[in-house]
Each structure stands twice: as structure tokens, then as C-alpha cells.
Amino acid sequence: MKLEHPPEPAVRAIEGRLSAAGKRFAIVVSRFNAFITERLFQSAYDGLLRSGAKKKDVALVRVPGAFEIPSAARTLAETKKYDAIICIGCLLRGDTAHYDVIVNEVTRGIGQSAQETGVPHAFGVLTCDTLEQAIDRAGLKMGNKGFEAALAAVEMANLTRAVVGKGVVRRASFAVRKGKGKGNKPKR
């Protein structure tokens, strides 16, 4: 006798679409290692346009080095003008511990900004041992990580909107409804 198992319940997945139409993005690009970061930026920008973003809805912010990326990204996210922030940089390992310190701080800062502002941040910061690895990740053997970061930003912007809703702006640990009036109290 064959035992029948009850049907599994249908699970509705919440996913972000790959459409940038109607969304605003900021791209923060480090000038240090510009021969790599410019290739990453161009590919990220191309990814946004190919996904339906309009040129007027993409802001470019240049910072001196990767260490400054989290601060600029946080400032942009706090304006609530952008649906996602794309962080672009390139760190190459040297002979000192400086690389490890900077990598850890940049990564922590970008993640913390995303978590505390509720605005998705895409990580397009290369952390490579050699220049050859960076070149491969900026358009040769390994594709272009700038393009991948742009697609991640688009998907996360849509996912955030799907989860939170159009009329809600994320703030730290609670949401506040847009607009003025008596019915717009913080949601806990």
C-alpha cells in the first residue's frame, strides 16, 4: 500500500524584479585605482540603463578613496531620494596590514549604512590580491562586478518596495508613512 503525503503548501516568494524603471540610484565611485573603478562605473551605469533607468535618475558621486565610500553612501541614503546606492571601489593588497583594515572598515560601513537607513546598498568594491585579479573582475575573465552590483541594486530596490510598500519610507528600526496628517504616525 502506497502512503500519500499531503500536498505541500504553496509558498509565495517575494522577489525583486530587474526593472529600474521609475527608480532613482546613486553610484558612489572611488577615484583611487581609477583605471579599475572607471570600468566598474561604466558597466554599472550601463546595467542601470539596460534595466530601464533614465539617465536623469542616476546620480554619480566621486570620493577620494574606498575609505570614503561608506560616508558618502550614508549621506545619500539619508536623503531618501534614492531607491538604492551602488558602491564602487578597488582595494589591492599591499605589503602592510593597511589593506585588511581598510577592507574591513569599508565593508562594515557600507553594510551598517544599508541596515540603519533601510536603503539597499550594492557592494561593488573589489578586494583583490593582485592588479591582474582586479582587471579580470573589471571586464575580462570574471565579467564586470560593476554590472553585477547594478543588477543587485535594481533587484533589492524592487524587493524593498515589495516588502515595505510604496507609501512607506524606511527609517532605522521603524517605518514612517509619507505625507502629513493625523493618520501618519510611526508604525512599530
Q: Is the dihedral angle over the CA atoms 149, 151, 152, 153 positive or is it negative?
A: positive
Q: With 0-12 CB in 10 A as exposed, 13-18 as middle and 19+ as buried, what is 72?
A: buried
Given 98, 111, 143, 178, the catalytic residue: 98
Please work out, in degrees rounded to the nearest 5, the angle formed at the alpha carbon of residue 154 by the alpha carbons of 37 and 113: 70
Query: Starting at the edge strand that comes first in sequence, how are the strands of the sheet with 25-30 ordered?
Result: 58-63, 25-30, 84-92, 121-128
CB atoms within 10 A of CB 59: 15
Q: Any catalytic annotation for residue 98?
A: yes
Contacts (Cβ under 8 Å, ≥6 apart) of 36: 90, 126, 134, 135, 138
Active site residue ranges: 98
